[in-house]
Amino acid sequence: MNSVSPSAAQYIGGVMQDDLVDTRRQQPMEQQSSFGLRSPQSPDPSREPTGEPDEMDKLKAKLMSAWNNIKYGWTVKSKTSFNKISPVTVLGHSYLLNSEDEVERFRLAFVSRIWLTYRREFPQLEGTTWTTDCGWGCMLRSGQMLLAQGLLVHLMPRDWAWPDAQQLTDVDFEVFRPRSPTRAAGLPIPSFGSPRGSNTPERSNPSDQLPQRKRPECARDRQAEPIHHRLVTWFGDQPPAPFGVHQLVEIGKSSGKKAGDWYGPSVVAHILRKAIAKASVVHNLVVYVAQDCTVYKEDVVRLCDLSLSETAPRPSSQAWKSVIILVPVRLGGEALNPSYIECVKNILKLECCIGIIGGKPRHSLFFIGFQDEHLLYLDPHYCQSVVDVTQANFSLESFHCSSPKKMPFTRMDPSCTIGFYAKNIKDFESLCSAVSVALSSSKEKYPIFTFVEGHSQDYGLEGHSSNHSGPAAHILPLSKQDRSNNRRNSDEFVFL
């Protein structure tokens, strides 16, 4: 096989650019999605279904897998710049990067998020020849990261940080002091307590040279490491893993999806709901998926309040199940409506927010924060070798990212799913109040979504309860220009 040079896979800021534009133009429109080319493994309608891929399908799948492994296996080191005068928000916590202590706090917060990316050489997905999700599984990976964040909050100590984050020393970002609020340019300071060289442009502060203080939570966090390891195994790329790609693809079949298809944020929200309901490894946790951009409070209560359940709670169970609330929304027509940017920022400032799955056209991303007019995200578009999580003391390093990345809000695809977590009924009531305030910050007449008293059936939505198998799409009011493209965009709740 001919070798492929790095120039065949161009990255800008660590994000892959579509290098198959010419090929994509040659495909019929019905075979395209915003994520790129439809997989050659898609069945030919004229061919009789046989239940097993034929030899041509196997060959095509192998060629596509080999190409995607190369395409998404390249990385180009690049540093993301953060300024020192504006706070960085990460899932409800704020960091002003004007001191080494604050930089270290931000580093720990970012590196401690679980990072789930494309993997290769995992066991074949049932009924297919796929041994990788490269090129098509990015939204599933983003959904995994959203669920993993919810499980971290559910199972780990408050404000937990990965105690072994120090071993990821190759962390790529710089901190700048802008010359003006509108132009983020200036001189970088060394990150994460790295030694200052003789050519360092800034004068060292005495506090910068003090020995690094050990976090008081370090011992507590170390005690929680077995839970951290066990949580990562649930996302392993083996068929038994309850939240691994094998299980998610299997669950997705009920929504008309299969391996090799691209999954949208709304579909993934329902897949995650079903995965939690099916799993036996997580107790006292449910997932509620909002319908028609509305969270029906009584539906959430009915899911969570065990006294209203048909089955009696176990003696060791709490009276209230914790809940992950997923809200599929659309923030504009062809592009993000700028009026919603401030609202998205305010949502990411909430501690109850566990992130947003969405991305930009052709790329699913997991958004976890922002600084100024840029979103902070984790990118699944990096192909790594599969890790055997059944082995004792397997390495966690490939499940944590050391390179924060940013992108402008204006490049955000309007189709996304927002996630929240409430541990108990008090947290749920606080969540409803805090999120409602955040939603009211929008300049638009219509909020991104709403909380409503009562049950969905009270509003004639019996078929759209959170236990319904299919996603319901709701598109916010469109401008006149957007209405002309309404029919063409109707599927964008499924495909970015």
Higher pLDDT, 481 or 346: 346
379 is catalytic: yes
| Cβ-proximal residues to 431 (8 Å cutoff; 6+ apart), any chain | 325, 350, 352, 420, 422
Q: Write the CA distances from 452 to 78, 173, 290, 390, 465, integer angstroms.
A: 45, 42, 11, 44, 14
Annotated active-site residue in 57, 221, 237, 379: 379
Give the confidence band of 2 by pLDDT, cuts at 50, 70, 90. Answer: very low
Tokens representing 236?
Answer: 């392993």
Kindly report which listed range (33-42, 177-186, 224-233) carries the lowest average pLDDT score: 33-42
Check residue 410 and give its pLDDT.
94
Check residue 56 and give its pLDDT.
60
455 is catalytic: no
Task: Output phi, psi for 171, to 5 deg.
Answer: -100, 125
Higher pLDDT, 288 or 472: 288
Annotated active-site residue in 154, 363, 381, 400: 381
Task: Output phi, psi for 212, to 5 deg.
Answer: -65, 130
Tokens representing 288?
Answer: 């509620």
Annotated active-site residue in 134, 138, 343, 353: 138
User: How do the domains of the chain map onto residue ranges?
Assistant: 84-170+219-307+319-452
For the cut 60, the answer to whether the pLDDT of residue 171 exceeds it is: no
Tokens representing 255?
Answer: 């929504």
Q: What is the pLDDT of residues 259-281, one digit of tens each?
A: 999 899 999 999 999 999 999 99
Q: What is the pLDDT of residues 97-115, one digit of tens each?
A: 999 999 999 999 999 999 9
Higher pLDDT, 249 or 476: 249
Our measurement of the distance from residue 300's CA atom to the centroid of its chain's CA atoms, rounded to an integer in Å, reads: 23
Q: What is the pLDDT of residues 117-144, one digit of tens each?
A: 999 999 999 999 999 999 999 999 999 9
Check residue 460 and give its pLDDT.
65
381 is catalytic: yes
Q: What is the pLDDT of residues 422-447, one digit of tens each?
A: 999 999 999 999 999 999 987 777 88
- Determine the Cα–Cα distance for residues 400 and 116; give it in Å rounded to an integer: 8
Model pTM? Answer: 0.75
| Cβ-proximal residues to 205 (8 Å cutoff; 6+ apart), any chain | none
For the cut 50, the answer to whether the pLDDT of residue 245 exceeds it is: yes
- Determine the Cα–Cα distance for residues 257 and 172; give it in Å rounded to an integer: 37
Check residue 488 and give its pLDDT.
37
- Determine the Cα–Cα distance for residues 246 and 104; give it in Å rounded to an integer: 36
Check residue 57 and give its pLDDT.
60
Residue 264 near residue 138 (C-beta atoms within 8 A): no
